[in-house]
Amino acid sequence: MTRKTAVLGFRIMAVLVCGGMASGCSAQGQAEPSWTAQPDATASTAAPTGTATASAGPTTSGGQGSPTPGAGATSAAWKTFSDPGKTVSFDLPEEWIAQSVTPEEGTMAGALKVEVKKPDGTVLASLRTGLPPSAQECAEAARRPYTVISSVPVDLPALAGEGTIAPHVVFRVIQGYRYFGSFGITNIVGGADGQACELRNVVRGPAGKGDYSFGDLPALKAFAPDEKVAPAKAFDTLDQAAKYVDEGAEFANVQRMLMSLEIKN
């Protein structure tokens, strides 16, 4: 057994020990995001108003931690997106595209929806604001085991109360016929005893402002074999999910982008 395999095995065993309600459960002694900066990274530059284009519970690992060996490096050049009203802003790799689109029906007045895409047009994540509060019933038989692969605290405005935690940037996996993974921001407890019907990438916003979401999906569930999984991820094992978080450049960039989000009053 290699040292790397042993470490990953230990991390997954820690998942089973760490079980509990809070989606922010994390590895001991870790307190920083797990991205690593490229040498001589270019400082963020302001994007045109309203758009940014390519020209301008249980835990396994990572999460609240110092950069780990093998963690994916982020892009060298970054830019900043801000909506026309200057109510939200975030950083993203220079080659990614951020574009404001029409929000879904049922959102509050002044709600925003911003899609972040790869250069080929593939949507990576969406920022949604002005979401109405919602609750979900979860029958015992419909609950599925879930695992928090990464959980990093982030400074964002949020409504505190029962069933909430401090906002975190998370990557979580729920078990179905495969392990389905999703990243986002949340302050909502995942589920009791490491099981849930769905994992919501939503932050309860301050009173009168509505909820908001920034991630690949507003909520992650265990998909049926005939359902489309993307933009969520699918893995054969928890080890594969941990490698996506710990070693992949895509997640390193996504995590840094989500951590940079600012919501202004």
Residue 54 has pLDDT above 90, yes or no: no
pTM for the complete prediction? Answer: 0.76
Cα(232)–Cα(66) distance, rounded to whole angstroms?
Answer: 26
Q: Above pLDDT 90, what percent of the chain?
A: 63
pLDDT tens digits along 225-258: 999 999 999 999 999 999 999 999 999 999 999 9
- pLDDT number for residue 223: 97
pLDDT tens digits along 157-175: 999 988 899 999 999 999 9
Say what angle helices 249-259 and 238-247 make with each other, to 10 degrees: 70
Residue 118 has pLDDT above 60, yes or no: yes
Name the band, by pLDDT with cuts 50, 70 and 90, for residue 51.
very low
Among 50-54, 100-104, 170-174, 213-217, which is the least confidently predicted range? 50-54
Q: Are strands 77-82 and 42-46 parallel, antiparallel or unpaired?
A: parallel
CA distances from 172 to 151, 180, 182, 239 (A): 8, 8, 6, 13
Supply the mean pLDDT for the chain: 80
Residue 20 has pLDDT above 70, yes or no: no
